[in-house]
Every structure is written in structure tokens, then in C-alpha cells.
Amino acid sequence: MVRIRGRAVAGRGAIQPPKGPLVAALAVLLLAFAVPTAEALGCPNCKDALTGGDPEGANLARGYFYSILIMLAMPLALVSSFGAYVWREIRRQKRAGAGASNPPLP
């Protein structure tokens, strides 16, 4: 906050608190996700495998679980790898540019 003529004024880049409908929408979403339901048991195959009580079904459900985790992690891994590559290349080019602009004296 910056003070102008004795009043606090939001400076450039200051974060303003959300107002009105946005707050209401966020509250509804929070309540919708916070209320536990009995129907949230996962996929039907996992549910059927675990209700049977056999260890082979539990292994099948565990396999589904790990495959879902890998599928969720793959986009993040690809985007972060690409971002790291771009960051390294920009840093390398800045170093090369800084070295070329200041040649050593003879």
C-alpha cells in the first residue's frame, strides 16, 4: 500500500481481495468438494475387486491406482522438461552474448 494525501492506495501490483459473486462461487465450490459422499468409491472395477476380498482383485486395483498416477504425472513431466530446456538455452545464450560484447583487451 502506498500513502497518498494520508490515504492508503493500492500500489502497482497490489493484490485486491475478491469481491461479490466471486466469493460466493468460491464458497459454493469449497462446500461442494468438502462434503464427503458415500458414492465416491472410485472406479467400478476397483470397487468390485475390493469387495470380493481376494488378493488378486486387490492387486488389480493397485495396478489401476499406479497407472492413473503415472498418467497424471506425465503431462507435468513433459511441460517441466520443456521449460527446463528453454530456461537452459536462454541462460546459455545470455552467457554467450555477454562474453561476445566484452572482448578481452590486447
Q: What is the pLDDT along the chain (106 residues), one digit of tens a residue?
A: 555 565 655 555 556 665 777 788 888 888 777 766 555 556 676 666 667 677 777 787 788 888 889 999 999 999 999 999 999 999 999 988 876 665 665 5
Dihedral through CA 5, CA 7, CA 12, CA 18, nearest 10?
A: -160
- For residue 61, tell me if it sits in a domain: yes
Any domain includes 8: no
* Structural domains in the chain (count): 1
In a domain, 28, yes or no: no
SS3 labels along 33-89: HHCCCCCCCCCHHHHHHHHHCCHHHHHHHHHHHHHHHHHHHHHHHHHHHHHHHHHHH
The reply to whether 25 falls in a domain is no
Rounded to two decimals, the pTM is 0.44
Residues 6+ apart with CB under 8 A from 76: none
User: Does residue 32 sit within a domain?
Assistant: no
Residue 65: give the domain boundaries: 42-101
